[in-house]
Amino acid sequence: MTDAMPILLMLCPLVSAVIIFFLREENERLRTTINIGSSLLKLGLVAWTLEGVGRGVIYEYRLEFVLGLYMLLRIDALALLFIALSSFLWLVTTVYAIAYFRGTANLSRFFGFFNLCVFATTGIALSGSLISFFFFYELLTLSTWPLVVHKGDHESLAAGRTYLGYTMVGSAVLLFAIVWMEGTTGPVEFVAPPELDKLSGTAQGAIFALLVAGLAVKTAIVPVHSWLPKAMAAPAPVTALLHAVAVVKAGAFGIVRIIYDVYGIDRMAEHSLGVPLAMAASVTIIYGSLKALQQTDIKRMLAFSTVSQISYIVLGASLPGPFATIGGLVHLVHQGLMKITLFFAAGVLAERRGVHSVSQMAGIGRRMPLTMLAFSVAALGLIGVPPLAGFVSKWYLGIGGLQAGHPWVILVLAASSLLNAAYFLPLIYRAWFTEGPDSLEQYDGKEGPTALILPAVVTAFATLGVGVLAGFAFSPLGWASLIVQREYIP
Amino acid sequence: MSGAGLDSATLFALTGAILIGIGVYGFIVHAHLLRRILAFNVIGSGIFLMFGALGFRGAGNGTDPVPQALIITGIVVALSLTALAVALLVKLAEEEGGATLPEEQPGRGEAE
Amino acid sequence: MTAALLFDAGLCLLVLVVAFSAVAGRGLFGAIAFFIIYGMLIALAWLRLEGVDVALAEAAIGAGLTGMLLIGAWSMLKQLGVSGLPGGPSVPLRIAAGAVSGLVALALAATVLALPDGREGLSPAVAESLGRSGVDNPVTAVLLNFRAYDTLLESVVLLIALIAVWSLTPRAVWGGVPGLAQHARSDGVLSMFGRLLPPLGLVVAIYLVWAGSSQPGGAFQAGTVLAAVWLLVVMAGLYDEPPASSRNLRLALVAGPGVFLAVGAVGAAFGVFMGIPEGFAKPLILSIEFALTVSIAVTLALLVAGRPRRPA
Amino acid sequence: MTAPLPGAFPALELLIVLPLAASLLAILLGGRLAPRIVLLLGPAMLVVTAVLAFQIQTQGPVRVEIGGWEAPLGIALIGDGLAGVFLVLTAIVMTAVGVFAQKPFGSEGAETTESYTFWPLYFAMWAALNAVFCGGDLFNLYVALELLTLTAVAMVAYGSTRAALRYLLFALAGSLAYLMGIVLLYSATGTLDIELLARQDTIEATRMVSGALMTAGLLAKTALFPLHGWLPPAHGSAPAPASALLSSLVIKASFVIIVRIWFDVMPDVAGTVFVQLLSILGAGAVLYGSLLALRQTRLKMIIAYSTVAQLGYLFFIFPLAGGAAAETPWAAGAWSGGMFHALAHGLAKAAMFLAAGLVIEALGHDRIDDIKGIARALPLTMFAFGLAAVSLMGLPPSGGFLAKYLMLTAALADGQIGLALVMLAGGLLAAAYLFRPVNRALAGDYVPEVAVVTYWRQLIPLGLALLSVALGIISEPPYDLLQVGRSKVAVEGIDD
Amino acid sequence: MIALDVMTVLLVCTGLVFFVAGTAGLLRFPDFHSRLHALTKADNLGLGFIALGVAFQMTDAWSVAKLALVWMLAGLAAASVAQLVARAALDRLPDESGGEHKG
């Protein structure tokens, strides 16, 4: 049973993707059932493995390709954290997407690639060796590109082109680094760190820099982040799942893997590789928030805020010490929940009320109470207002920074929280406490189909729940500390 | 000259080498395709002459039969290629009224 | 002995002069004429090298048919007005080409001279297995038994060359009669010549095939003679070429390679691909040779005639 | 006769006899029935190739002494791993293209030039390819190569006479150089059989000159960088099924002969200078081909220039072969990587040309600026094109990626950073010039009106593209087959 | 045996003389038809003599017969070709021959 589980987890999205690809456009009902069914099944499997990994069971599967190249799928605690998040959000986004796209063209193609992309994300989480990680990392690019250009109009094609341009170069750099390392140390597995001592100090540093540079593209760290705001041209469900959860998190997850499972904490400290990374992350945090401040279009603002939020994870991972790591890992989940709520809400506003820019938000609270409630909860969470999720991760990151002997981290966190407040609060204020123009009246009274509103509300509750119930063992925080505990005291 | 001294076999082999040189000169110099095809045939017969001459074993016992067989095969293959080249050249002349291959943009003919 | 060497030297010099004027000559038709003479001289050289089979092949196919192909092409190009180029190649190009070709010739000559002498090649091996090959002429033994696979592929090459030439036919004329219309006077010299030679040609061809097993000769040389006879008959206006779509023409084309392949396949079934059992090697080889001769004759004749041009 | 044991079953000989017989039959039957032969021959050949692969895998390299005459006198056919893998590739691509070509070269109505002459050429090309891949005698390879050139030139002539003539001229020059090499080699060593030649280690100078001549000739036929002038117009203007065969199989034939020469016949003669020259030309091909592909306006010209580029990769096996030192066994994969690249490229390129053929059938042209929205009209075809593009770019999970990975590891383990960078750059450039048409095909929101393209014909390129991707996943069997009878030089490296 | 060799040398020499005469005719004669005349007549006779000369060297009768066949064929071919070339020349060079001969 222990080696069947990874295969089952992988097959869920793959099988549904293949079936949906060959479905006719018309049989809407069949497609929806497959979509929902497979995501529920996967969520169940994740729960099952959650309990298993908790007990210390190791699930592993090895597919031998050819001399020196094999695929290793391994479920460890870190993988499960990412899978749990992605499966839950996949279910929610599927519901949202089905409602959002009701009646539009070539949906078989969309949902086919949608499931393929989830398959790639699962692969990234489960991969037990560096080359398997690269395998799915590339597959993710290929499966997300058709989603970005789904609408086929000029902006989304331009967005697709830049997205490809950045990611292709990034993957070339990543492949070069991986092969350079594996050229001397042989295939690299996460469970047994490779004998990096064969490589000279500078070579190790150079490889680390290249690896991080390759992953930085998807993590949207400053110099290589501009594809993310441009990719907002894609339809809402795409931006929600992919750019708030799958694509961006894959990069961050990769960096975490490299730091903890390839190099290891002590080698990082010995070659002081962590500091430059932390600096880059901090710069991104500040820069992202500043840019978000200047935006008028809601979705671009959210995109820039994603750019800065993801770097929290990188910051957490790059600082030595357990607390920072816990902060980084837990933020991986929290940021996902919060950001997806914001994107859902923004999508509903744009779809139902044609609200795109910040100025149009006036008085929207009265007309779209539930959506705006979810939006506000998530926004406050991002700012770091207790007891929401954002506060928990920022709190741990702060302590971690102190513990690692880098007090300036506190400054960065504080500054970014202030900036978050600076661009979110006026939005919330305008939505709830100002009188909107009467032009909004002619929309029919109802806020929108429940299937469109419900996802945002559910994820908002999750943000609240995760923050409040942080103490539980199976909460993201609990799970993150379990990971760190296994990491530091093997 | 070192090697086999100047017996007739070596003489013919050297003639073959010079023929190849002449043929290559013709193949490069001329733009008119019919002359290049002619040069191609000169080179071919030069190569075969050299092949046969190198297989010549003294006046009495003739040339090594394996090269002879290969040369006969080679001559027939050369004829087939020449026939196709000539047919293509005539068709090119009929289509485009030219018998040379100026190095301009590749053919604009659409497929099918 | 020096007299023979002197003759060879004279012959070689003549060959080189004729070759050079064929390649670098002024007019195109002159070049082709020189090329045909060059072919004859090369055949003479082969006689000096005692390669009689090759001499026959070179004279018949190398000089004869290739010459006819070139003359045919020249006449068609002349009608289209593209038979000559105004300016000759520029001087720097000539010098460069001269240098390159000189270099090539020198390198090859040096390599030839560097070869160790006293090389036996494969003649002892051929002599030793000649007895089991079913024929006495070593060249025919190599062609049709030891390296029969080469000859099979080569006969397919010839056939496919014809199909390739036919593939250039414009769609409107497909299935038509190959070559240009011949208009010779029915009572003229050519038609008399055309009536007189064919029987003799037929006898010579059959003799060549039959003798091929013991003396120089063989399918290819005989096929060429038959093709020449057929071309003469057509040019004399006595018969016209069969349309490309006629059934028995296709049968004749496929006969040679077909029989050859059949023998090979039967051999493969008994474990030795292309294996010719020693028991009845001679009759088998002869039957292959006769079939090949027919096919080669028809293919060569149609190759020289060119693609179908006139509706059937 | 009881079903012969796989051991005794003359698989290799059948692979030569069957297509030749089919070619003769096609000439006999005429344009109306000839296209139907492929429906019988295709499956039969696939079965025979499978049996051969099984024989090679279980009993080691198959050696057939033709006519019962052993090596120096007779001709031998070598059925080792390399031959087996390429024979399988040929069978698959040939069958797919044969079924695809039923329509353009079909026989409904009266017999036309194309419907009659295409099929003998097609089967003869198949026989020639099989003869080259398993040929064991250098002169025999020459005759098979000429048969291949004849059929290839004739198929290009369907599209453009000028391109066919330019191709023929390059091929003529190439075959003369190759013939000259054979003459010198035979005169020096007294044999033309690859296995016997491998045992020769004397007369180094002559063998080097003849090796150089043969390689120069074969490079012209493989269209490696400086000698590639004929390929784009020829593959670009030939009809789609023909260009698919040309790009994926025909140029690989002369490449396999080069591999046989430098890995079996005379590995000790190849100096480092020669090996470096090949790698430089290969790198030039990758960069030059890709840059030119970026500037093309027609879909088939992009694919043709992409062939010029992808060919460069194949020649990286010469500098990279070897590196099998004890402590880095995984770095010895360059030779197999190169062969995998040839296979993946063959399948992907055939899929791409067939897809382009369908686009031409649907729209009447393949100008990239005007194929807006074709992805909606022919979803399956463009999906096949995209999948094939993934394999060409060397992105996981495709066969192309596996090949690139093996070669990259060998390059970095061997310290040849330059080659590694060229390979990566080639992958990126391939992404650039291949996503351009895919982008254009997805653009626009209307569905262009197109001539009807039957559904099952769109499945052919899709099947080939899926195979090319599957090569990266189910890569165990082809890899093991490839190792059978592989020359030890492939693992220890050429430059002595 | 010497007599046979002497006969051969003599005959071959006369043959050569005729060839030289033919070639001189080719180079010296003014117009097309006379050159053609010289060539066919002289060369054919020369060939006959040489064939006769060589016949003396032959050992068996078959070879002599083959030589005779060769000479006869060459003569036939030369005659026919001369006719055709002359007739073709008439159409292209009307001024030289004066009268209008229908081909």
Question: What are B16-37's pLDDT values in tens digits?
Answer: 999 999 999 999 888 889 999 9
Instruction: Retrieve residue D195's tokens.
Output: 């296995």
Whether A183 is in a domain gets the answer: no
- Give tens-digit pLDDT for C213-258: 888 888 899 999 999 999 888 888 888 888 877 888 899 999 999 9
pLDDT number for residue B108: 35
Task: Point out the least confidently predicted range of A19-28, C300-309, D226-235.
Answer: A19-28
Per-residue model confidence (pLDDT) at position B109 = 32
CA of B96 to nearest chain D CA: how many angstroms apart? Answer: 9
Nearest CA distance, D486 vs chain B (angstrom): 29
The minimum CA-CA distance between B9 and chain D, rounded to whole Å, is: 13
Average pLDDT of the residues in D323-344: 76
Residues in CB range of D496: below 8 A, 6 or more apart: D267, D268, D270
ipTM above 0.85, yes or no: yes
**Residue D280 is assigned to a structural domain of this protein:** yes
User: In which element (H, E) is residue B13 found?
Assistant: helix B8-29
Q: Is the pLDDT of residue A158 over 70?
A: yes
**B36 min Cα distance to partner chain C (Å):** 9
- Cα–Cα distances (Å) from C227 to C35, C75, D129, D217, in that order, read 21, 20, 30, 33
Contact D360 B112 (CB under 8 A): yes
Query: Which chains have 3 or more CB–CB distances shorter than 8 Å to chain B?
Result: C, D
Provide the residue type at A25 as one letter: E
With CB atoms and an 8 Å threshold, state whether D232 touches B84.
no
Mean pLDDT confidence for E79-86: 87
Angle at C42 between CA C88 and CA C235, to 5 degrees: 75
Question: Do the domain assignments include residue A341?
Answer: yes
Provide φ and ψ at A61, rounded to 5°: -145, 135
List CB contacts (< 8 A) between B89 and chain D: 165
Distance CA D445, CA A151 (A): 8
Asked whether residue C296 carries a pLDDT value surpassing 60, the answer given is yes
Q: What is the mean pLDDT of residues B62-71?
A: 87
Residue A185 domain-assigned (yes or no): no
- Tell me whether residue D384 is in a domain: yes
B101 to chain D, closest Cα gap in Å: 7
From the number of C-beta atoms within 10 Å of its C-beta (0-12, 13-18, 19+), residue A51 rates as: exposed
pLDDT at site E98 = 47
pLDDT of residue D357: 93
Length of chain B in terms of residues written: 112
The continuous run of DSSP H or E covering C177 comes out as: strand C177-178
Is position D173 within any domain? no
Q: Which residues contact D110 (CB under 8 A, 6 or more apart)?
A: none
pLDDT in tens, A387-414: 787 888 888 888 888 888 888 888 888 8
Q: Give me chain D's average pLDDT, please.
A: 88
Ranges of each domain in chain B: 8-96
Cβ neighbours of C166 in D, within 8 Å: 113, 116-117
- From the list B6, B20, B26, the residue facing C104 with the nearest CB is B20
What is the token pair recorded at C247? 């059934």
In a domain, A421, yes or no: yes
Q: How confident is the model at residue C5 (pLDDT cuts 50, 70, 90)?
A: confident
Domain that holds residue D485: 273-496
CA atoms within 13 A on the CB side of A407: 0
How confident is the model over D119-151, as pLDDT tens digits?
999 999 999 999 999 999 999 999 999 999 999
Task: Output the six-digit token pair for C187.
Answer: 């009572």
Nearest to D150 by CA among D171, D131, D130, D132: D171
Q: Which domain holds residue A292?
A: 275-490
Q: Evaluate whether D148 touches D129 at the Cβ level (below 8 Å).
A: yes
* CB contact set of D90 (below 8 Å; sequence gap of 6+): D49, D126, D129, D130, D133, D249
Q: Does C203 touch chain E (CB under 8 A)?
A: no
From the list E73, E76, E80, the residue facing C190 with the nearest CB is E80
Distance, CA of C29 to CA of D35 (rounded, Å): 43
Interface with D, mutate which of A14, A69, A129 (most D CBs under 10 A):
A69
Element (H, E) at C204: helix C189-211
With residue C269 as reference, give the H or E element that holds it.
Answer: helix C247-269
Is residue D30 within 8 A of residue D118, CB to CB? The reply is no
Residue of chain C minimizing CA distance to D114: C167
Give the pLDDT confidence score for residue E94 in this predicted structure. Answer: 59
E contact test, residue of C189, C191, C200, C208 with most E CBs within 10 A? C189
| Separation between Cα atoms, residue B59 and residue D36, nearest integer Å | 57
pLDDT at A442 over 50: no
Residues D272-294: what's their mean pLDDT? Answer: 91
Please, what's the b/e burial string for C266-305 (b: 16 or more CB within 10 A of its CB; e: otherwise)? ebbeeebbbbbeeeebbebbbebbbbbbbbbbbbbbbbbb
Reported for A468-472, long-range contacts at CB under 8 A and 24+ positions apart, including other chains, are: A468/A387, A470/A392
Chain C residues in contact with E76 by the CB 8 A cut-off are 193, 196-197
Place of tokens 């009701």: A102
For D190, nearest residue in chain B (alpha carbons): B55
List, as one string, the DSSP characters of D276-307: HHHHHHHHHHHHHHHHHHHH--BHHHHHHHHH
Whether residue A430 lies inside any domain: the answer is yes
Question: Which of A66, A184, A186 faces D476 most closely, judged by CB atoms?
Answer: A66
Diameter of chain D by CA atoms?
70
Chains within contact range of chain C (3+ C-beta pairs < 8 Å):
B, D, E
- Distance, in Å, from the CA atom of D2 to the CA atom of D7, rounded to the nearest integer, reads 13
pLDDT tens per residue, range A254-303: 998 888 888 887 888 888 888 888 888 999 999 999 988 888 888 888 88
pLDDT at E88: 83
CA E36/CA E30 separation, integer angstroms:
11
Scanning A337-376 for CB atoms below 8 A from D yields none
Structure confidence at residue C151 as a pLDDT band (50, 70, 90)? very high
Using the beta-carbon criterion (under 8 Å), do C129 and D69 form an inter-chain contact?
A: yes
Q: DSSP string of C118-169?
A: ---TTHHHHHHHHHHHT-S-HHHHIIIIITHHHHHHHHHHHHHHHHHHHTTS
Domain spans of chain C, in order of start? 1-83, 129-312
Residues whose CB falls within 8 Å of the CB of residue C41, separated by 6 or more in sequence, listed in order: C11, C14, C15, C18
Rounded to an integer, the average pLDDT of C75-100 is 82
- Cβ-based contacts of B55 with chain C (< 8 Å): 121, 123
Coil, strand or helix at D63 = strand
Q: Residues B32, B13: contact at Cβ < 8 Å?
A: no
**A456 near A302, Cβ under 8 Å?**
no
Query: DSSP character for C306?
Result: -
The pLDDT value given to residue A355: 79
Task: Kindly report the number of other CB atoms within 10 A of residue A399's CB atom.
Answer: 18
pLDDT over 90 at D232, yes or no: yes
Q: What is the mean pLDDT of residues A349-368?
A: 80
pLDDT of residue A100: 83
Whole-number Å distance between alpha carbons of C173 and C178: 10
Yes or no: say if A372 and A353 are a contact pair by the CB < 8 Å rule: no
E-assigned strand segments in C16-66:
none
φ, ψ for residue A261 (rounded to 5)? -100, -20
- The alpha carbon of residue D232 is apart from the nearest alpha carbon of chain B, in Å, by 7
Q: Between chains, do D168 and B50 touch, taking CB under 8 Å as contact? A: no
Check if B10 contacts C (Cβ < 8 Å). Answer: yes
Instruction: Please tell us whether the domain made up of B8-96 is placed in CATH 1.10.287.3510.
Output: yes
Residue numbers of C between 241 and 260 with CB closer than 8 Å to D: 245, 250-251, 253-254, 257-258
Lowest mean pLDDT among D159-173, D476-490, E58-72: D476-490
Q: pLDDT tens digit string along D61-73? A: 888 888 888 878 8
**Tokens read off for A435:** 């009188």
Residue D213 clears pLDDT 60, i.e. is over it: yes
- The residue in chain C having the minimum alpha-carbon distance to the alpha carbon of residue E83 is C189
**Testing the interface with B: which of D115, D161, D366 to mutate, by most B Cβ within 10 A?**
D161
Per the CB < 8 A criterion, the answer to whether A172 and D427 are in contact is yes
pLDDT value for B110: 33
Count of structural domains within chain D: 1
Q: Which of D151, D325, D305, D176 is nearest to D241 (CA)?
A: D151
User: Which amino acid type is present at position C93?
Assistant: L
Sign of the dihedral through C-alpha E28, E31, E34, E36: positive
Which one of B73, B88, B109 has the shortest CB-CB distance to D165? Answer: B88
Contact C168 B87 (CB under 8 A): yes
Look at residue B3 in the predicted model and tell me its pLDDT.
38
Better pLDDT: D173 or A76: D173
pLDDT at A71 over 60: yes
Q: Which residues lie below 8 Å from residue A253, measured CB to CB, with a gap of 6+?
A: A78, A82, A124, A125, A332
Chain C with chain D: Cβ pairs closer than 8 A: 158
Length of chain D: 496
Could C113 and B10 be called an inter-chain contact, meaning their C-beta atoms sit closer than 8 Å? Answer: yes
Question: Number of Cβ pairs closer than 8 Å across B and D?
Answer: 104
pLDDT of amino acid D455: 83
Q: Is there a domain that residue D186 lies in? A: no
Residue type at position A197: D
